[in-house]
Amino acid sequence: MAILETHDLSKRFGRMWAVKKVNLSVEPGEIFGFLGPNGAGKSTTINMLTTLLKPTEGQALIAGHDVVAEPEKVRQNIGLVFQDPSLDETLTARENLYFHALLYGIPAKSREQKITMFLQAMELEHRKNSLVKTFSGGMRRRLEIARGLLHDPRVLFLDEPTLGLDPQTRRLIWKYVIDLRNRLETTIFLTTHYLEEAEHCDRIAIIDRGEIIAMDTPANLKSRLGGDIISMDTADNAAAAAFIENTWGHAVTSQQTGLSFKVANGEQFIPVLVKSLNIPIKTISVRKPTLEDVFVSLTGRNIRDEVMDEKEGMRLRVRARRTR
């Protein structure tokens, strides 16, 4: 039985449908990635799933509870780690968790034991009495995840859990998340701009313009593209693209760094291309498709090259100041 499911879940603002007929089914213990360009409907969907926003149409169930009819029961079964920092910097790590335990009615007899367990799981026990304002960005994120899991939620929502963190810290955060999922069998529902992180997901749903346009395992999504990706830069990219398309029929995409196109066997094709193309080649490489390629092919956009609006830019600047 699915731990999270939606049936034609939709949300309209005025005449605009922000989310339209989204159908999801997430299994217990699954790491489920929810990806999409800015404005695609990710936040609106998550806000409906976490009872922060009422759907216009359709239904969403968490652990069998309707998000509209039974919001309190839904909240008891979910944990939420916001994209923006939400810890009290004037409290210690332990005090932040203790306050959360009080809000969720965790019994006094098990309160300290659970706080200690999650501080140890996130390797923060030695800093339990330190003020959060002295923590690094990675330490704060680990504490937020510990707080989100403290009341034993069936589903943990992670909204951009590693945004703004350095690659090493991102890998550590993922180590903790995967270890806790395996130990507690908690379902993880996450969004991320780092598509290499989405490889950790059991399945991925891609939403664009409010509708789900693909949903599968990372491996199956990549296999849909077929073949290899050849990237190249030449002395005349426009002429090279026209030659490739006219000679072999491969659709060529122009990018800032040059050209890219898909072929059945890249390693065998490159010598043929080099021999046939009468245009100097500056660089050429071949690789297997990535989730970034899948995302671009489905949405026409690169998830990391999107222009942030002023609100998003301010959010990241505030986070950077807080984590220095």
Using a cut of 0.85, tell me whether the model's pTM lies above it: no
Question: CA–CA separation, 48 vs 57, rounded Å?
Answer: 11
Question: CA–CA separation, 220 vs 214, rounded Å?
Answer: 11
Question: CA–CA separation, 312 vs 34, rounded Å?
Answer: 19
What is the pLDDT confidence band of residue 251, given thresholds at 50, 70 and 90? very high
**Arithmetic mean of pLDDT over the chain:** 90
pLDDT of residue 71: 97
pLDDT of residue 170: 86
Over range 113-137, report the average pLDDT: 94
Give exposure, 152-168, as e/b (b: 16+ Cβ within 10 Å): ebbbbbbbbbbbbbeee
pLDDT of residue 5: 97
- Three-state secondary structure call for residue 64: coil
What percentage of the chain carries pLDDT values higher than 90?
Answer: 69
- Residues 204 and 217: beta-carbon distance below 8 Å: yes
pLDDT of residue 255: 84
Q: Which of 7-11, 16-20, 48-52, 305-309 has the lowest mean pLDDT?
A: 305-309
Higher pLDDT, residue 85 or 221: 221
Report whether pLDDT(62) > 80: yes
| Contacts of range 311-318, beta carbons closer than 8 Å, 24 or more positions apart | 312/38, 315/83, 315/84, 316/163, 316/164, 318/84
pLDDT of residue 211: 96
Q: How many angstroms separate the first and last alpha carbons of the chain? A: 44
What percentage of the chain carries pLDDT values higher than 70?
Answer: 93
pLDDT of residue 127: 96
pLDDT of residue 304: 59
pLDDT of residue 270: 96
pLDDT of residue 158: 92
Over range 230-252, report the average pLDDT: 96
How many CB atoms lie under 10 A from the CB of residue 281? Answer: 15
For tokens 């999107």, name the residue.
306
Question: CA–CA separation, 240 vs 276, rounded Å?
Answer: 11
pLDDT, tens digit, 9 for 90 and up, residues 278-312: 999 999 999 999 998 898 888 877 775 543 443 44
- Residues 298 and 208: beta-carbon distance below 8 Å: yes
Full set of structural domains in the chain with CATH: 4-219 (3.40.50.300), 227-288 (3.30.70.260)
For tokens 């989405």, name the residue.
198
How remote is the C-alpha of 292 from its chain's centroid? 12
